[in-house]
Structure 1
Amino acid sequence: MRGPRAAFARFGARADERTPAHRDRAIDGLRALALLAVPTGHWLVGGFTLDDGGGLHNASPLTTFGGLAPASWVLQMLGIFFLVGGYSSYLSYRRRKGSVREWTVGRLRRLGRPVLGVTAVWALLLPLLHYGAGVPADTLHTASTLVVQPLWFVGVYAVITALTPYCVRASRRLGARAAVPLLGTVAVVDLLRYGPYADAMPSWLSLLNLLPGWMFAYQLGVSWADGRIGRRGAWLLLAGGAALFATLLLAFHYPVSMVGVPGEARTNSHPPSLLVLALAAAQSGAAILLRDRLARLLRRPALWAPVVVVNLSAMTILCWHQTAMLAAAVPASYVGEVPGLTGAPDTGGWVLARLAWMPLFAGLLVVIARYARPLEAPWDRAGTVRRAATAVLAAGFGCFALAA
């Protein structure tokens, strides 16, 4: 063990030395925490069932184990992700050297390249797996759904990022109060879709929550970076968010789970309900209050090194973590009902087995990331086609080798 430990220590020391003094380690730490919560949550609730033809279908342990729903309060950290995103975008926007348009295009390219990469790889994989490896169509439908689902987040984040100049102006004029209209919009929409006249409301009404619901924490992040939220404001966010969260659960009977549960008529996350904003407010207040303490902790190279790795692989983690789980589940479907993989998530044993499989998912994600990282790197115009084709083929056949 001395070899790996020594190598990790050397890497940590190098990462610490190369980190600029002005780098806000607490922000990177919060981002890493929110990033890791995404695959952890998806891997814990992403169960499968196996039909008679060997096809995989989505299933959730929350359908059977409703008592596990409060765990989603911890694992649902998109509020922190948008908070940190707003904070970082404000600093980047303020330091920009070119025009607003150039800044926006540059940010959107960084988000778009990995999404195009994973989409292209799976477009290649689907016919290869079906006609080359004989993977059932039901399995491929389930797989494509799981891979595409997290990408909605990138699309929403891209739209909100493009609105950063407006968020900055709103913060300078209103401070932290700039987030209040967003909260109010979601509250009104929730009242209409869940109130006494809900039956008369159109089905698309809930979509009106999509942008303000996720923009709420982003706007708080912009105001935080703008120096408009201090400790007093942070305590108000924490206490107010917690009080609103409890009120919505106990008095208005919002669903307990922060993620969708199959068979349930209501969901908090797609699109976000007022409960999501209450949780985001409480999380944001706690993050602001703990910032200095977290920054001191991350002065330790052993803690800072994994934060650096996660931040450098942010989009790879978001785009490819479901592929890593499928790389284990699809081969297992040929064996039969494997506990924690292809067996129905309806027993306590399944939960323990899934926890045991998660290190394998993480290892597969590391392997896939090795091939997928070129899809995230900038491409010069002359070499765009060649590098894109090479990266797509490498990642595609790497995933194929793991899944077939």
Structure 2
Amino acid sequence: MSTTELPRAATGAGPVPGSETAGTRAKWRGWAGRLEAATPAHRDRTVDALRALAMLGVVLGHWLVSALVADPARPGVLTNHSPLSGWPAAAPVSWLLQLLGPFFFAGGYAAARGSRGRAALPWLAGRLRRLVLPVLALAAVFVPVAAVLPAAGVPGPTRQVVWSLVSHPLWFLLVYLLLTALTPVLRRLTIQCGLWWLLPLVGLVGLIDTMRPGGLPGWLTITVVPVGWAVPYTLGIALAERKLTDRAGAVLLPAGVLAGAALIAAGYPASAVGVPGDGWSNLDPPSLFTLALAAAQLGLFLVLRRRLARLLRRPAVWAPIAVLNLAAMTIFCWHQSALLAVSFAGLPFGPVPGLLSPVGADWFALRLLWLPAFAAVLVGCCLVFHRVETLGARRPAVSR
């Protein structure tokens, strides 16, 4: 028995000041230590940290650019607006929060490492299971909800907002699944040709960019999306296969910054995400600016990678990164549901500032106050649905 427990055990008095704090710290250290022990020694924690940062960027980005506005004249009606359309100065914020390039990079690295020395079909089946099961859980909830909403009298614009917020972010999954299936081919090309074979892909993206002002046909947009994201995905494969080193960061970072600045000067939209009124989006499909942004982000990661590796050796620093990676797909699938849940809870109160109010000069400041509420609901969703993500897993360790 510790000395801090003696007075309470002997006298029945209240807790000794500081005992709860010490106990909490001990529990935290124990939990972090268990995660540390469950982490394979060969695991690259820096890539996991990059994936966790990318996931947080996606979640925060969606929460900050999805402005659901309640219509006082039509009770129950929600419409979706972009706060970026009235605030061009927010474009640099989108450069920080649009982290899909690093996300695909981490995916390519993990796929190359995980498939090495393993039969293609069993490895692919395991990857697909981890990706698809959380989506099936989401569908099991929202397909019945979508069927019930009209009968419940929910207005059409509100139903459209629900469907858009829940389903639209999942576009990346189809691209991710395709690139995952192509990993053996992409890995072989990277091993045999280095990164030179990516030049035709970048050239194709540039060619498509020249056609954007006249509008792209839907079939061409769908075709080019995986081509664009194959570039950072393959860079991740190259890192896993030692065809890309940390020294490349000193080239990618300034090259990405200079290329991005030149493209904006040439007329590309400054925002990394779609903004009404910009004419076209850098994300639909990925443009040269998106690739330049990814190059700058990944260059910075490579420059800082060694320092980050030293930091992540600390169990207390590594533990939250490990948890975010274990629940990555669950977080992605349910983060918009958390936004909707809080928004619907505020709907009876009208245009709640920062939640359901029209976008104004103070909207972003007010929106920040709601982020803890969104996060709390998301944690609850993860506690309920994360078990689906781990169904069939071989062991409860930190895994790719």
1:258 paired to 2:272:
yes
Alpha-carbon offset, residue 46 of structure 1: 0.8
Question: Who is 1:122 aligned against?
Answer: 142
Distance of 2:113 and 2:392 partners within structure 1:
25
2:247/2:302 contact within 8 Å kept: no
Report the AA paired with residue 85 of structure 2. Answer: T
Q: 123, 131, 136: which is aligned to 1:111?
A: 131
Alpha-carbon offset, residue 7 of structure 1: 2.8
Distance of 1:38 and 1:111 partners within structure 2:
17
Question: Who is 1:369 aligned against?
Answer: 382
Alpha-carbon offset, residue 302 of structure 1: 1.7
Question: Who is 2:8 aligned against?
Answer: none
1:324 paired to 2:338:
yes
Distance of 1:82 and 1:292 partners within structure 2:
21
1:147 paired to 2:169:
no
1:193/1:206 contact within 8 Å kept: no
Question: Who is 2:320 aligned against?
Answer: 306
Distance of 2:325 and 2:192 partners within structure 1:
32
**Equivalent residues in 2 for 1:88-103, closer than 5 Å:** 88-96=110-118, 99-103=119-123
Alpha-carbon offset, residue 105 of structure 1: 2.4
Question: Who is 2:186 aligned against?
Answer: 167
2:190/2:197 contact within 8 Å kept: yes
Bigger shift: 158-167 or 234-243?
A: 234-243
Question: Who is 1:270 aligned against?
Answer: 284
1:287 paired to 2:301:
yes
Which 5+ residue runs of structure 1 have no aligned equivalent? 381-404
Secondary structure of the 1:271 match is: coil
Q: 9, 18, 24: which is aligned to 2:29?
A: 9
Name the CA shift for 1:155/1:207 in 2 (closer, same or farther; >3 Å): closer
Q: 354, 360, 370: which is aligned to 1:357?
A: 370
Q: 173, 178, 198: which is aligned to 2:197?
A: 178
Q: 143, 151, 156: which is aligned to 1:137?
A: 156
State the TM-score, normalizing by the size of structure 2.
Answer: 0.88
Q: 83, 95, 103: which is aligned to 2:105?
A: 83
1:60/1:262 contact within 8 Å kept: yes
2:247/2:303 contact within 8 Å kept: no
2:209/2:287 contact within 8 Å kept: yes
**Equivalent residues in 2 for 1:211-230, closer than 5 Å:** 211-230=226-245
Alpha-carbon offset, residue 131 of structure 1: 3.9
**Equivalent residues in 2 for 1:373-392, closer than 5 Å:** 373-379=386-392
Distance of 2:217 and 2:282 partners within structure 1:
18
Secondary structure of the 2:316 match is: helix
Which 5+ residue runs of structure 2 have no aligned equivalent? 1-19, 394-400
1:338 paired to 2:352:
yes
Moved over 6 A (4+): none
Q: 1:282-301 CA distances to partner (integer Å, 9 max, x unpaired)? A: 11222222221111111112
Q: 1:242-283 CA distances to partner (integer Å, 9 max, x unpaired)? A: 221111011x11111111112432111121111001111111
1:193/1:205 contact within 8 Å kept: no
2:268/2:289 contact within 8 Å kept: yes
2:248/2:302 contact within 8 Å kept: no
Secondary structure of the 1:48 match is: strand
2:246/2:305 contact within 8 Å kept: no
Name the CA shift for 1:125/1:379 in 2 (closer, same or farther; >3 Å): farther
**Equivalent residues in 2 for 1:187-202, closer than 5 Å:** 187-194=206-213, 198=214, 202=217
Distance of 1:233 and 1:181 partners within structure 2:
20
Question: Who is 2:221 aligned against?
Answer: 206
Q: 1:32-90 CA distances to partner (integer Å, 9 max, x unpaired)? A: 11111111100011111222222111011111111111100010111111111111111
Bigger shift: 211-220 or 117-126?
A: 117-126
Distance of 2:146 and 2:348 partners within structure 1:
17
State the percentage of identical aligned residues.
44
Higher Cα Rg, which structure: 2
Question: Who is 1:156 aligned against?
Answer: 175
**Equivalent residues in 2 for 1:18-57, closer than 5 Å:** 18-51=38-71, 52-53=73-74, 54-57=76-79
State the TM-score, normalizing by the size of structure 1.
Answer: 0.87
Alpha-carbon offset, residue 367 of structure 1: 0.5
Number of residue equivalences? 371
1:243 paired to 2:263:
no
Distance of 1:335 and 1:27 partners within structure 2:
43
Secondary structure of the 1:150 match is: helix
Name the CA shift for 1:263/1:334 in 2 (closer, same or farther; >3 Å): farther
Secondary structure of the 1:248 match is: helix
Report the AA paired with residue 243 of structure 1. Answer: L
